[in-house]
A and B are shown apart, each in its own frame.
Chain A
Amino acid sequence: MPIRYPYAGTGFRDWTKRVGQYDREFLLRLYRSMLRIRIIEEEIEKRYHEDQMKTPIHLVIGQEATSVGCCAALTDADLLYSSHRTHGNYLAKGGDLKAMLSEMFCRANGCAGSRGGSMHLIDKKVGMAGTSAVVGGAIPIATGAALATKMQKLDRVCVVFLGEAGAEEGVTSESLNFAALKQLPVIYFCENNFYSVQSPLATRQHPGRVVWKWAATYGMPAVLVDGTNVLAVYEAAKEAVKRAREGGGPTFIEAPVYRFRAHGGAGDDSKSGYRDVAEREAWERICPIRTYHEFLERAGLLNAQVRKQMEQEILDETLAAFTHAMNSPNPVEADLYRNVYAS
């Protein structure tokens, strides 16, 4: 089987001369944020077989640059909505790690009180506003949040993450049309990882349909950005955020990425035959964390020692959060009946 969806970007090849426009602290913050997501995800994966996290997981390993690059352009007041693959969005937006892990261990102090699970992470304090476990479900909701933002004249931008399969849902067309019509401050961030569960893009969309170009037909600026390059993602998001804040309406961003793991659960399932193992391996060679690490090293901004220290700090934090979650109380029966209706 040939590699069906090869990487088509240029990575950090042309970015060395631009590194001076960022301060080191910012560049390292992006790095740390991606590394943190990776380490947390790997720890979740490592422990998943213990069956204490009784929740479906959709690991974001390989797709860290999109969440981190986009969220770096947002403030806590900006709202982020997302889909079933939530971990990266939640952590990059600043969501509380302990509350996330408690949610995954189904504990009473989880971020959604054990009513959401891994697919429904929320932390309103930092603008992680909600998710939907139905593909396309959060897209009109984020659009409605942007309508509220405009009606209330707030300085706020709403972002919704979707996959390329989300672009197949009818409600996405409906939402894009409405957002363009009303010039709403919303950004549609499409992570195109080429597979919906195990269905390749080629079985779902005509090859002549290019997602970002399709989005542009609704009357909004649409761009394609390298989803493995955290700085390229940041720049695209920053421009879209600026446009939205200035009343310029919505933007659609498409970022090709690759998930290194199965759609759900721990480990990769490429061997089952729906995609070529060599395809995954090729994308792993342009892992967004590794390529950025190498870029920062070439620029003299990061070395093995700094990286090692970061890893240790993150691992300590992660293990402490796991311990906290596992020692947290379970909900009680009365909790089931709470918050069905708002008073």
Chain B
Amino acid sequence: MPWDEGLINRLVYEAPNPAEGRVLSYPKAVNEALAIALAHDPSVFVLGQGVDDPSAMFGTTRGLQEKFGPQRVFDTPLSEEGMMGVSTGAAMNGMRPVYLHNRPDFILLAMNQLVTHAAKMHFMDHGQTSVPMVVWAAIGRGWGSGAQHSQAIQGMLLGVPGLKIVMPSTPFDAKGLMLSAIEDNNPVLIFEHRWLMRKDGIVPEGFYTVPLGKGVHRRRGNDLTIAGASHTLELALQAANKLAAEGIEADVIDLRTVKPLDETILEESVRKTGRLLAVDTAWAIGGVCAELGCLAAEKWFRHLRAPVRRIGLPDVPAPAGYTLEQFYYPDVERISGVIRDMCGK
């Protein structure tokens, strides 16, 4: 068994209750979204390095080429900037590309086309051109992925006008947000997390969308607000559920989309709890955590009863070895400690 599969297989998530609906794995939810979009709209096509190989991008693209043909689902040269530009040019001319990457690290090769071209084209052309494009990647963590295979880059892109950034945390959202992203007329980045790929969830059949820019409550409570997305939000939710036994009731908000941010749901919660813990899969400084903290300081300061806290990565590249990783990444215990501290318990 490959090393990363061994790790992922050991992850345990709360199993969904089949009585509530159809249970589907995370990759199959993404796969279903892609298949629906390809069937529904002839302008959609899927590309990326290895989308037609046996591992099928964690299984998310399995069977798509067989079903929709090599013209619409195809492997690419190792040319990230070129292919980002090709996707942009195709999107500017009536197509809806979905460009998949194994890891966000590889998107950094394509920043010129993504940031300086795709994100700005609609503005620079005064609305005459739009770039309906989805760029997808799965953030890595652990088992030696290290500094160059586990970067979470949403913070770097948060300040780029013209982009939208989606970070799902459940199979339901992964499908619904993917379908929303494909329908959207802007460049939309979807950052999945490798460790969520083993999560099962209730996923309705057929077409549905989860709106971009809208957060959702995963848990309700009055003692503090925990806000974030993706895998770190999942960890924070696990911590919050445990701490209920200690009498701490957290309001847990899954942002789903980190750009644009759902300020309404955040404001309502922070006004109620007076405490904000911002969590993210990336570095704490200059990113989603920092932006949430700034929002609170700028707009809801008078409602705060405690300092804003952040759970993200330290200002250090990801180490490769497993011992160092334990110090590097947040876990349920560490998040619980911060929550207790914030609530004075």
Contacts and interface: CB of A to CB of B under 8 A. Distances in A.
A151 B161 CA distance: 30
Contacts of B129: 122, 124, 129-130
Nearest to B76: A178
Given A145-B93, A178-B86, A338 B127 contact: yes
Contacts of B117: 132, 134, 137, 141
Contacts of B76: 178
Contacts of B71: 151
Interface in A316-343: 338-343
B55 interface: no
Contacts of B186: 341-342
A175 B127 contact: no
A221 interface: no
Interface string B124-142: 1111111110000000000
A148 B85 CA distance: 12
B128 A124 contact: yes
Contacts of A341: 122, 162, 164, 186
A248 interface: no
B92 A141 contact: yes
Interface string A120-135: 1010100001101010
Contacts of A151: 45, 71-72, 90, 95
A181 B77 contact: yes
Nearest to A112: B126
Given A112-B126, A116-B126, A175-B86, A148 B79 contact: no
Contact of A174 (B83, B91, B126, B130): B83
Given A144-B87, A175-B82, A115 B126 contact: yes
B238 interface: no
Nearest to A111: B126
> How many of chain B's residues touch chain A, expressed as a range?
35 or more
Interface in B88-127: 88-95, 112-113, 116-117, 121-127
Contacts of B179: none
Given A134-B112, A152-B94, A144 B89 contact: yes
Interface string A147-179: 111011000000000000000001101110110
Most buried by A among B71, B77, B82, B131: B82
Contacts of A101: none
Nearest to A110: B126
Contact of B112 (A120, A147, A171): A171
Nearest to A144: B89
B185 interface: yes
A144 B86 contact: yes
A83 interface: no
Contact of A144 (B90, B127, B185): B90
A137 B77 contact: no
B90 A148 contact: yes
B84 interface: yes
A333 to B, nearest CB: 15
A60 interface: no
A122 B122 CA distance: 12
B81 interface: yes
A143 B123 CA distance: 21
Nearest to B133: A144
A175 B76 CA distance: 12
A332 B312 CA distance: 41
Given A137-B116, A339-B122, A147 B79 contact: no
B88 A144 contact: yes
A140 B92 contact: no
B227 to A, nearest CB: 23
A177 B77 contact: yes
B292 to A, nearest CB: 21
Given A112-B124, A151-B45, A171-B112, A342 B86 contact: no
Nearest to A179: B86
B92 A144 contact: yes
A38 B339 CA distance: 70
Contact of B125 (A130, A137, A146, A343): A130
A140 B122 contact: no
Given A113-B127, A339-B127, 11 more contacts: A120-B124, A122-B125, A130-B92, A132-B117, A144-B91, A147-B89, A148-B93, A174-B79, A338-B126, A339-B122, A343-B185
Interface of B: 45, 71-72, 76-77, 79, 81-95, 112-113, 116-117, 121-132, 161-162, 164, 185-186
- Top 8 nearest A-B pairs (CB, nearest first) are A144-B89, A140-B85, A174-B82, A113-B126, A174-B79, A141-B89, A339-B127, A342-B130
